[in-house]
């Protein structure tokens, strides 16, 4: 059975940064589901959203996420913030291994993402209101999907990585 470590959470919660360092520490492959999507669509996610809209993006996202439980070797997998929206995806993520929810408040995320232009769902309008809305809808879904929840408000990336490694050891995942 694949025994990957999967990171879920809202945009800006540190999935990619933490994931890269965690993979290095564990000596396993790092996989970013958004990068896999971009390879498949041959363009940026932002551009794809503009051209085809969110539903089309979610369809590609589902195809990529369905493949994760079948990775040939265990990896650290960081996912896009909306990867938990479809119930099929939630199942695929749990099948892939241990799922960690990097939980941050919408306010913290807003400060981290103020100058970011790569995230289509946060462009224009009122990004803080959008993050609050996303949090309301998604927080229960992240919690439903995850085996563990880590508050990412204060801890540094290195601390988060250590916390994840500790949890994996405690849960007997042979790190």
What residues line the site for ligand S3P (CB under 6 A)?
11, 34, 45, 80-82, 119-121
* Closer residue to ligand S3P (CB): 141 or 168: 141
Give the contacts of 124 (CB within 8 A, at least 6 positions apart). Answer: none
Residue 1 CB, nearest approach to ligand S3P (Å): 26
CA distance linking residue 108 with residue 9, whole number of Å: 13
* Closer residue to ligand S3P (CB): 1 or 68: 68
* Closer residue to ligand S3P (CB): 34 or 108: 34
* Closer residue to ligand S3P (CB): 4 or 78: 78
Residue 164 CB, nearest approach to ligand S3P (Å): 18
Q: Which residue is nearest to ligand S3P (CB)?
A: 80
Residue 82 CB, nearest approach to ligand S3P (Å): 3
Q: What is the dihedral of CA 12, 138, 149, 86, to 10 degrees?
A: -100
* Pair 96, 68: CB distance under 8 Å: yes
Residue 175 CB, nearest approach to ligand S3P (Å): 25
Six token digits for residue 164: 């994840």
């Amino acid at each position: 059975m694949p025994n990957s470590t999967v990171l879920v959470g809202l945009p800006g919660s540190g999935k990619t940064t933490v994931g890269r360092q965690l993979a290095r520490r564990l000596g396993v492959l790092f996989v970013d589901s958004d990068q896999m999507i971009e390879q498949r669509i041959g363009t940026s996610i932002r551009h794809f959203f503009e051209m085809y809209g969110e539903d089309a993006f979610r369809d590609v996202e589902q195809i990529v996420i369905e493949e994760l439980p079948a990775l040939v070797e265990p990896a650290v997998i960081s996912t896009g913030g909306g990867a938990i929206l479809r119930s099929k995806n939630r199942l695929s993520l749990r099948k892939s291994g241990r799922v960690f929810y990097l939980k941050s408040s919408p306010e913290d995320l807003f400060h981290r993402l103020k100058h970011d232009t790569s995230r289509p769902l946060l462009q224009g309008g009122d990004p803080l209101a959008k993050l609050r809305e996303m949090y309301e809808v998604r927080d229960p879904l992240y919690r439903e999907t995850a085996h563990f929840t880590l508050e990412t408000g204060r801890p540094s990336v290195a601390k988060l990585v250590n916390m994840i490694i500790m949890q994996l050891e405690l849960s007997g995942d042979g790190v």
